[in-house]
Every structure is written in C-alpha cells, then in structure tokens.
Amino acid sequence: MPEARFAPQEILLPVKAGHIAISLMVALFLNLLPWSGVWLWIKPDFVALVVLYWCIEQPRRVGFVAAWVLGLFMDVADGTLFGQHALAYSILAFAGIVLHRRVRMFSGTPQVIHVVLLLLMNDLIVLCIRLAGGADFPGFQYFIGSFTAGALWLPLGALLRLPQRHA
C-alpha cells in the first residue's frame, strides 16, 4: 500500500503481471490450508485481503474479473453455494477501486481502519446470503478474521512491495 503523501516517497518499479498472479495464487493456497478449530476463526480471508490490496494499489489492472473468478474458486473449495463469495468479492473490489485514492492518502492506523471496515462489509455480505439460505448465525467470532486481516495489512503491503524495489 502506498506511503502517505507527506512521507519521503520511494520510486517503485512497475508491477509485473506475474507478480500479481503469484500473490493471488498464494492467497488462495493459504485459504485452502487445513485450518481447524480456533485457527479457523482467527484466520483472515487471505484472498479478500490480497484482492483488496491490489484493487487499491493497481485499480486499473486488478479488479472485478480476478475477484469474481477467485470467489467462484472459494465457493467450490468450501462446498458452498455457487456465487456467494463471487458476489462478496465483487463488491469488495468495487469498494477498493472507488476508494483507492482516499485510502492511499492515509498511512498506518487510519488506513488499517478503512481496510477492516471493508473486510467486515465483505463478511457481512456472505453472512446475509447464508442467513437468507436458512443457516444459523455462527456467533460473533465469525468477524474475528477481518481484524486479524487488518493487523496483517501493513506487513502484507511491505511484503508485496518488495519485488518492486530496485535491486
């Protein structure tokens, strides 16, 4: 994620498409790890996190198509209704693209707050679809993952920007 405008700016290399694709693949892989028990609650939705990162960082290159296709894959992997993650990720991508200038103006904590709220909205969409489908409310621990994701936002940004630095 970009630095605040007032901090001394780094000039980064342009992002390579392969780099974006690999980061999205790794996110999908992390989501597919056999999480269980408490870890399942704490675990952030890595795909949502990385999709949101790229939508804010590269809104012209990563957007709806990637978010939607990854959503379909998540639905297949979880054995849930086809399209619920696709819908949630599409709306997340929209929010990321629309808000990207605003979010990038902030640094540190305010940026994390934005991200957490967007991811909570993502959770809420999935929750609404499931409740409409007749499921029970799984409890408030359902939302913990988004806060973990917020904590991971700054380290993730530093990590994903590494290949863009000059050697």
Partner 1 sequence: MEHSPPPFFKTGPTPLARLLIFSALSLAFLIADARFNYLVSLRQVAAVILYPLQRIAASPASIVQRIGDFFVTHGSLRSDNARLTHENFEQGALLQQLKALEAENAQLRNLLAARDRLPIKVTTAEVLYAARDPFSRKVIVDRGSQHDVLPGQPVVDNRGVVGQVTRVYPWLAEVTLVTDKGQFVPVQNVRNGLRSVLGGTGSDGTLELRFVPLQADYQDGDELVTSGIDGVYPPGLPVARVTGIERSVEQIFARITCVPLGGVAHYNQLLIVNGTPSLPPRPVETQKAPRSRKSRSG
Measured from the CB atom, the residue of 61 and 165 that comes closer to partner 1 is: 61
CB neighbour list of residue 145: distance below 8 Å, 6 or more residues apart: 41, 42, 43, 44, 45, 119, 123
Candidate residues 86, 115, 116, 149; the one interacting with partner 1 per rule CB under 8 A: 86
Residue 165 CA neighbour count, 13 Å, CB half: 10
Residue 106 interacting with partner 1 (CB under 8 A): no
* Beta carbon of residue 102, minimum distance to partner 1 (angstroms, whole number): 12
CB neighbour list of residue 154: distance below 8 Å, 6 or more residues apart: 1, 108, 111, 112
Check residue 166 and report its DSSP letter: -
Measured from the CB atom, the residue of 8 and 134 that comes closer to partner 1 is: 134
Candidate residues 3, 107, 120, 130; the one interacting with partner 1 per rule CB under 8 A: 130
Distance CA 145, CA 143 (A): 5
Residues near partner 1 (CB under 8 A): 25, 28-29, 31-36, 40-41, 43, 58-60, 63-64, 67-68, 71-73, 76-84, 86-87, 90-91, 94, 97-98, 100-101, 129-130, 133-136, 138, 142
